[in-house]
Chains A and B, each alone.
Chain A
Amino acid sequence: DAEITQSPRHKITETGRQVTLACHQTWNHNNMFWYRQDLGHGLRLIHYSYGVQDTNKGEVSDGYSVSRSNTEDLPLTLESAASSQTSVYFCASSESGGRALNEQFFGPGTRLTVL
């Protein structure tokens, strides 16, 4: 069955370190998204991609970057981790058709703690 996976599931790191969270989907979806979920804020969009070599900033993109070198993967990098980036991170994917937004499927999440 097609799925979307994230790794690691839990990560503890120190302030200032670079961290990369992996997202891999086997749906063959063109659209991929990264969100963070925090108490009091709900889910907020960090970055998204509509296809290979395409990346776009979401509403909370500062301190994060993504790259899309193939259809299946969209890794999220925290350039210099900060305590404010302690959160649960979700990756999602969806089909596309003229960049139409269809049903999004979510990964299990990565819980990141920055000390």
Chain B
Amino acid sequence: KQEVTQIPAALSVPEGENLVLNCSFTDSAIYNLQWFRQDPGKGLTSLLLIQSSQREQTSGRLNASLDKSSGRSTLYIAASQPGDSATYLCALGSSTLGRLYFGRGTQLTVWP
């Protein structure tokens, strides 16, 4: 069974910092990896999707990388803003069963 771990569980930083969120997984036989943002009491918003054949994806101030051999993905947020405060979830798409396996998330607080 795929296990997904996100470190740290919580992170508090001042505005303007560049930061890295980590996601590790146990089974390298993945189809893709998706990063989500979840605001309190809300649903999940897809941020980036990386296919297994890709090494990174970028959207604005966000950059996600994927290293299947080491079982790791990172989400890099440049020049963080208070509006980035949310919980960030990574999820792995299984190549065998077609389901997503979620980490428990990193709760990010960016203070002015």
Contact = CB atoms under 8 A, between A and B. Distances in A.
**Do A and B actually bind?**
yes
Interface of A: 31, 33, 35, 40-45, 48, 50, 58, 90, 92, 99-109
| Residue of B36, B45, B89, B99 most packed against chain A (CB within 10 A) | B99
B17 to A, nearest CB: 26
Secondary structure call for the B interface = strand
| Interface bracket on B | 20 to 34
A101 B43 contact: no
A42 B99 contact: no
B98 A106 contact: no
A103 B89 contact: no
Contacts of A33: 99-100
B110 to A, nearest CB: 22
Contact of B100 (A40, A50, A101): A101
A101 B42 contact: no
Nearest to B93: A101
Interface in B17-69: 31-32, 34, 36, 42-46, 49
